[in-house]
Structure 1
């Protein structure tokens, strides 16, 4: 009887350790097929060029995986004349509540401008950057 009890005790310990070991794989960062990693993506649209004094629309379409982000914490456009990043201008966007965020900017001086679309949503931040040429330079 003692042998059977000892054998059963050992089997119980082995099963318990095996069960603990299978849970450790996820704790170490392995991704379950149902828990895929999602990313915050911004499709940042603006024309390649415009005239001095022309109003330009900046547009960001924000997605998280396949989901449109209609409630981003922040979408702010920052622009500056190339070579003069210390003199940048921040422009708040308008949330259209369909995953798109826009702002209108008028450039009063010709040249190439760099523009970031600072975007924060779902505890993530991304800042895609594009350029626009003003005045056909």
Structure 2
């Protein structure tokens, strides 16, 4: 009987030490991870302005599509992906995708041509800093 009275408190104490050590270690790792996330990532949403040049597009003319990406009014030069999707409003089969490339100061560009006149929807798909933005605009292509 004396042995069990001594062993039970020892086992209980050892268990508490082990559990306490694991809990303390995880808190340290979690705190460092959260601190790094706060320093590297802003909770402010990314902003994407979509443009193209020339503004008035004609069939088979080279067009430069541009997405200006900012966050907290600062240029975003580290977007993971920038795609321009140009889809005809009249013909669902007629759609092109162009991959944007960084040209500097948060500006991503891609060039393409449209072979048919009509109304198109241009959507820029921007993935940056754990966020995704998809602004779109209507484009009219003249003969």
- Structure 1 residue aligned with 2:139, among 122, 125, 132? 132
Match in the other structure for 1:120 = 127
Give me the CA root mean square deviation: 1.8
Tell me whether 1:64 sits opposite 2:79 in the alignment.
Answer: no
Question: Do 2:87 and 2:95's aligned partners in 1 also have CA atoms closer than 8 Å?
Answer: yes
Q: Check 1:100–1:53 CA distance in 2 against 1; reply closer, same or farther (3 A cut).
A: same
- Correspondence list, 1:1-137, <5 A: 37-46=43-52, 47-85=54-92, 87-135=94-142
Structure 2 spans left out of the alignment, 5+ residues: 1-41
Q: Which has the higher helix share?
A: 2
Structure 1 spans left out of the alignment, 5+ residues: 1-35
Provide the TM-score with structure 1 as the length reference: 0.67
Provide the TM-score with structure 2 as the length reference: 0.64
Q: How many residues are matched? A: 101
Q: Name which one, 1 or 2, has greater alpha-carbon Rg.
A: 2
Task: Give a deviation string over 1:31-58, Cα, whole Å, max 9, x none.
Answer: xxxxx84111001112553111111111
